[in-house]
Amino acid sequence: MDRSSREVTWSPAVLFEPSGTRLLCTLCPTGCSLADGQLGACKVRRRTADTLETATRATSVRHLDPVERKPFYHVRPGSHTVTLAAPGCTFRCDYCVNHRISQYGRDHDTWSATPVDAEETARDATARDAFVALSYSEPSLAAELTLDLAAQGARVLWKSNGFLTPQAAELMAPALTAVNIDIKGTDDARHHKLTGSPVIPVLDTVRALHTAGVWLEISTPLIPGVCDSPEDLTAIATFIADISPAVPWHLLRFTPTYRRTHDNPTTPSALAEAREIGHQAGLHHVYVERALGDEGRTTQCPTCRTPVIHRTIWGLDRNDLNTGTCPHCGTTIQGIWR
């Protein structure tokens, strides 16, 4: 990237089709219909002549992180990720802590980044016995980078909002090892007010990826007035349990930032109540990263309740699983353990 002139490196994109004299982007349900030279609503996909291009084969970060930080608690505890962040997001969440990356082209015109060499990145991750994680911004907008990385043998993780079309979910599933999807609520009007987008496609993507065999973990930030009431949380927990009670649910503390600095942070008592709601809905594993101490991060056997994985805030303390089974009663605990 030429940072001084704010030029972006564009490359061929996937997931589009002709629509009369326009090209229809089929990556996300927004379904932008583009004239020649026009940018999509995401600001990182554009039409050029008879093809679509993307600006997301690049990253503003390259971190080696614990996998627990994404958060993934049932994906090789204690392992690491080479974390990348391409620009852009399909949502416009007004509490986004990463808005300088995610809102590129909307609120922010500059973006410091470098192109990603998929072969080199995959080789580096393999040498470190690490995953490659796309995080901080919306990884589905980096569909092409994901496919490139998977083709080079990288094991790719997404921290995603899940706002994909069925075509995109079907295309991307074979390239993904695991995905952590935010479910920010089930009420469509409130979800749209928060994100600028409907929630039903997110729920459909969760179902589709689970059916395709991608390991799923779900995160929910307890946002005031959006998804922090017992009714909201019960609806989310019930939805997850209907897919599989073994899907881990991460409850995230809301932190006032960006355009929601007037709200208060989520209290530990609210997180504790939300965790209980998850258990009452039948979920086997409900996690709180910090506010409830070590207990909130500990994996228990769903049958005998023996603690089997102990975690620090962003890492592994001790893993007592016996090749994925409880050492006390032999129950198989679902996840990616090898």
Domain boundaries, the chain: 11-54, 58-319
Q: What is the pLDDT of residue 258?
A: 76
Amino acid 244 reads S
Phi-psi region of 207 (alpha: psi -120 to 50; beta: other; left: phi over 0): alpha
Classify burial at 63, counting beta carbons within 10 Å of its beta carbon; exposed 0-12, middle 13-18, buried 19 or more: middle
Q: What is the pLDDT of residue 106?
A: 64
Q: What is the pLDDT of residue 2?
A: 33
Q: What is the pLDDT of residue 4?
A: 31
Q: Strand 315-319's sheet: what is its strand order?
A: 299-300, 307-312, 315-319
Q: What is the pLDDT of residue 17?
A: 97
Positions in the chain short of pLDDT 70 = 1-7, 96, 99-100, 102-111
| CA distances, 240 to each of 185, 187, 245, 333 (Å) | 12, 15, 7, 17
* CATH number for the domain whose boundaries are 58-319: 3.20.20.70
Helix, strand, coil shares of the chain, percent, nearest 5, are 25, 25, 45
The DSSP output letter for 40 is P
Q: Please state whether the predicted TM-score (pTM) of the whole model is above 0.85.
A: yes
What mean pLDDT value characterizes the chain?
Answer: 93
